Structure 1
Amino acid sequence: MPQRFLTSWRLPASCAALLLLGGAVGWLTGTVWPCVTVVALGETVVLLSLFRHKSGPMLQSSATPHPDHDRLMTRTRRIASRLRDLRSAAGTLPDAVVLLDHSHHVRWFNHAAEDLLGLKRPRDRGRVLADLMRNTDLSDWLAEGAREPLNDVTAPGHPNRHVTATLLPFGSRQRLLLARDTSHLTRLEQIRRDFVANVSHELRTPLTVIHGYLELLDPEDVPELAPVLDEMRAQSKRMGQIVEDLLTLSRLETQEHVADEQVQMAPLLASLRKEAEALSQGRHTISLDVATAHDLLGSPKDLHSAFSNLVSNAVRYTPTGGKIAIRWADTEDGARFSVHDSGFGIPAAHIARLTERFYRVSSSRSRDSGGTGLGLSIVKHVLNLHQARLVIESETGKGSVFACVFVSDRLLDSTRVHETAGLHG
């Protein structure tokens, strides 16, 4: 709509709200029709305003209709008909759309919101959305401010359906709630998890048998087959490790919490250093810096697995003569376990995808090093269960830093814990 018109005419508040809603839904859903709605609504408002402006003097000055009168009326009726069709289409969107005012009172919602969120017309118009969603995941999310999207939660009133919800700013102090049915994606994800877990279990036994028979074969008995037997043993061992990692991932994905235990960091860090030195076999300079006395609250087995993955990756991907530094230190709001290496570095384009299953920056280098491509996925899931996050910093040719950042709720004062244990002992 031309700027000079906006400054010359005062649009009705309801029309302005519809304009904003059409544009917002069009942008959020990526469809074309809301943009058409905006244009049509704008044109209708222009015509109606012009008609009100011109028709009054026309009728007052003469009993004969002005030539522009019929043309304006015909065009207005045509656009009004189109708007009715577009409004009907808006009501049939597959995603739930709810318009809220500044106090989160429901102003408008489409048919999908009735089905997916359980809203009813006209009963729920004007009511607070959090009250309507009481005792659901959406209620807690709204009460906490809904700053982040809510992913894969049970739909209100539908225990077998799942939704993803987003609350976006809209207009003047208003909000737009978008909810999408993700039940089919949840089912597909569960099928994938079950398939991976079942296949991994089924592969474990035959791989164990094959590896056992290979161990019985002595290369010295058949020297001409020695290289073949060595390669078969190495690949059999690697396949077994992939199966074990897949089973670990399947367990972590279905696990909702960990049994909290005290994880003593001093012996754990010493163990990690020994593992790194054994894997390196003197090819790297490995250092350990313990700058805090804090222990962790969590699963000792899972945390050792996550930290060990980061340390072994640093050894595998750092050239001979490089440096690897393991560090445990406090931060402003928690603590951080980090592994610094002077390796090849990782291009920025790859960093965001490093925690995906089997994702490799360099396939040939990863296979040569013996990695399974699942280590960082395991790290990510372990940290999620401990309310921690993985931070990756890297620059090509200058090495990398992989850090596990823990919140203060996961920290224990090791000195106080040890003293208390001594008193009770």
Structure 2
Amino acid sequence: MTSSARSAWLRTLGLVGVPTGAGLLCGAIAHRPELGLAIGALAAVGWQMWRIASLVARLTQGRHARPDASADIYGEIERLLHRRQASTRLRKRRLVGMLRAYRAAATVLPDAVIVVERDSQRIVWFNEAGTTLLGLRYPNDIDASVVERLPGLPMASWLTRGRHAEPLEIASPLNGNITLSLRLLPYSDELWLLVARDVSRLLQLEQMRRDFVANVSHELRTPLTVLHGYLDMLDPSEQPEWAPMIAEMQRQSSRMTQLVEDLLTLSRLESRVDLPSEEVIPMAGMLAALRREALALSQGRHEIDVDDRADVDLFGSPKELHSAFSNLVANAVRYTPAGGRIRVTWETEIDMDGATGAALSVTDTGYGIPAAHLPRITERFYRVSTSRSRESGGTGLGLSIAKHVLNLHQARLDIRSDVGVGSTFSCHFGAARVRGRQPLEQIA
């Protein structure tokens, strides 16, 4: 307790005691001490009630006048409340100022920012870019359903996925030449933050890059084929001293040819929106083919296991999926030391929607991948160890190809790895891609 509060309590006790004592003294003089004490006590209580009523009136009326200067406990309470109110008003002004500053900053952002109620999907607020990119109008569209205000966009099904909603690329409702990337972010327990960004320029640059890579790869393909053909015609036995150089040129020529083929494959995958042809893929035959390829590449240096636990097949493009799975198996063989183990597993699982999906996993006991490299491991030409990748014959495009193939099949690639222990690359397919297994002769 502060000294001022202690003094206020003592003064209040004195103010209570004075009328009580005076009443008792007057009653004693009149030979009626009980009556005098009662009158004095009533006077003290009445004064207390008046002070309380005065304090309550000032609080309920919201007055901002200076507090009472009296030195009793009620004056002390009023002064404390006055300081608290002044501090609250100052904090409120600061918060309002910060809110205005944040809203002003959000207003001038080039990205459209829309605050949407989670349950009703109604618009609470949007910035100026919401008008220029999405055609929203203030104040007409405030409290309106975002699904109704953007009728040409698949908003209803996308919003229902909530925090699991993947970024959505759509054409602007105002200009079909503008491509928007929509993201849904949790803003609070009751609100979503819908952010729309113009990615037209980025997509244009990406398309230019793809065209450049495809054109260069096509131009390199023919001279590399000619060079590789001439190298194959050379007979090292005629000039033994040239044999090491010829072998090295053949190795580098083969590596460049494989690089060009992978670039063309990746360019073809990136330019596709959907798959050209799809069919039921017998996974028993697919697993057998992967095992044969792994054994051929390993040349007896590894233990190869295939575990078919799922009595289901896949629906998709056989060529593309074989390319993706083969790349994963080839990487496992290349980056696992001799004597290691590689295991290919095909099994059912429960997908994100609660239905029965399936997963193909390739597990090895290789070098492992440091955690810092995992987020970028599927980027084209990204290598954890450049020297090790070149020694093994990798192009740095296998995982990128696998990821694009899986994206075309609405699947995802999951990577887990421990340095010195090994890695597991898992391809997860939703229930829409799973089919009941049939005998091979029925599929044929």
TM-score with structure 1 setting the length: 0.76
User: Partner of 1:9 in structure 2?
Assistant: none
Aligned-pair CA distance for 1:331? 2.3
For 2:318, the equivalent position in structure 1 comes to 300
Give the whole-Å Cα distance in 1 for the aligned partners of 2:368 and 2:271. 33
Deviations 1:295-339 (A, max 9, x none): 211111111111111111111111112222222222243222222
Are the structure 2 counterparts of residues 93 and 289 from structure 1 closer, same or farther at C-alpha, using a change threshold of 3 Å? closer
Q: Secondary structure at the match of 1:372?
A: coil
Maintained 8 Å contact 1:130/1:142:
no
- Look up the match of 1:272: 290
Pick closer, same or farther for the CA change 1:227–1:156 going to 2, 3 Å: same
Match of 1:237 in 2: 254
Matched, 1:54 2:64: yes
Stretches of structure 2 that go unaligned for 5 or more consecutive residues are: 1-61, 69-91, 351-355
C-alpha spacing 1:53/1:243, structure 2 compared with 1 (3 Å): farther
Change in Cα spacing, 1:131 to 1:147, as seen in structure 2 (3 Å) is farther
Percent of aligned pairs with the same amino acid: 53
Is the aligned partner of 1:341 residue 2:364?
Answer: yes
What amino acid is aligned across from residue 406 of structure 1 in structure 2?
A: F
In 1, are the aligned partners of 2:214 and 2:263 still within 8 Å (CA)? yes
Partner of 2:428: 405
Task: Trace 1:151-162 onto structure 2 (pairs within 5 A).
Answer: 151-162=168-179
> How far does residue 290 in structure 1 lie from its aligned partner after superposition?
1.8
Q: Is the alpha carbon distance of 1:95 and 1:359 closer, same or farther for their aligned partners in structure 2, counting shifts above 3 Å?
A: same
Q: 1:113-262 counterparts in 2 under 5 A? A: 113-142=130-159, 144-145=161-162, 147-170=164-187, 173-258=190-275, 259-262=277-280
1:92 to 95, 108, 112: 108
Asked if the contact 1:292–1:330 (Cα under 8 Å) also holds between the matched residues in 2, the reply is: yes
Residues 231, 84 of structure 1: CA spacing in aligned structure 2 closer, same or farther, 3 A cutoff?
closer
Partner of 2:418: 395
Letter of the structure 2 residue corresponding to residue 194 of structure 1: D
Q: Contact 1:346/1:400 (CA < 8 Å) preserved in 2?
A: yes
**CA displacement, residues 251-277 of structure 1 (integer Å, 9 cap, x when unaligned):** 111212222211111222112111111
Structure 1 unaligned spans of 5+: 1-51, 59-75
Mapped partners of 2:262, 2:189: distance in 1 = 51
Say whether the 8 Å CA contact 1:394–1:400 is kept in structure 2: yes
Pair 1:271–1:87, CA change in 2 (3 A): closer
What corresponds to 1:415 in structure 2? 438
- Judged with a 3 Å threshold, the aligned counterparts in structure 2 of structure 1 residues 236 and 355 are, in CA distance, closer, same or farther, namely same
Q: Aligned partners of 1:172, 1:376: CA distance in 2, in Å? A: 38
What secondary structure sits across from 1:135 in the alignment? coil
**Contact 2:377-2:383 within 8 A present in 1 as well:** yes
SS of equivalent to 2:376:
coil
Aligned to 1:37: none
* Aligned residue identity for 2:239: V
Mapped to 2, the partners of 1:216 and 1:382 lie a distance apart of 37
The answer for the alignment partner of 1:107 in structure 2 is: 124
Q: Is 1:317–1:344's contact at 8 Å kept on the other side of the alignment?
A: yes
Which residue of 2 is the match for residue 8 of structure 1?
none
- 1:193 Cα shift? 1.1
Contact preservation (8 Å) 1:130, 1:143: no
Give how far 1:56 is off. Answer: 9.5
8 Å CA contact 1:152–1:186 kept in 2: the answer is: no
Which amino acid is the alignment partner of residue 310 of structure 1? L
Query: TM-score, with normalisation over the residues of structure 2?
Result: 0.73
* Structure-2 separation of matches of 1:78 and 1:335: 55
Pick the aligned partner of 1:284 from 302, 319, 341. 302
Task: Tell me the C-alpha RMSD between the 2 structures.
Answer: 3.0
Match 1:317 to one of 332, 335, 339? 335
* 1:16-35 paired onto structure 2 within 5 Å: none
Counterpart residue number, 1:360: 383
The 3-state SS of whatever aligns with 2:315 is strand
Mapped partners of 1:149, 1:415: distance in 2:
34
What are the superposed Cα offsets for residues 206-237 of structure 1, whole Å, 9 maximum, x if unpaired?
11111111112111222222111111111011
Number of equivalent positions: 356
Flag the 1:115–1:414 CA change in 2: closer, same or farther, 3 A.
same
Amino acid at match of 2:146: L
Structure 1 residues 331 and 90: CA distance shift in structure 2, 3 A: closer
SS in 2 for 1:352: helix
CA contact (8 A) 1:161 1:183 kept: yes
Q: Which has the larger radius of gyration?
A: 2
User: Shift of the alpha carbon at 1:151?
Assistant: 3.6
130-139 vs 234-243, greater mean Cα deviation: 130-139
Letter in 1 for 2:413: L
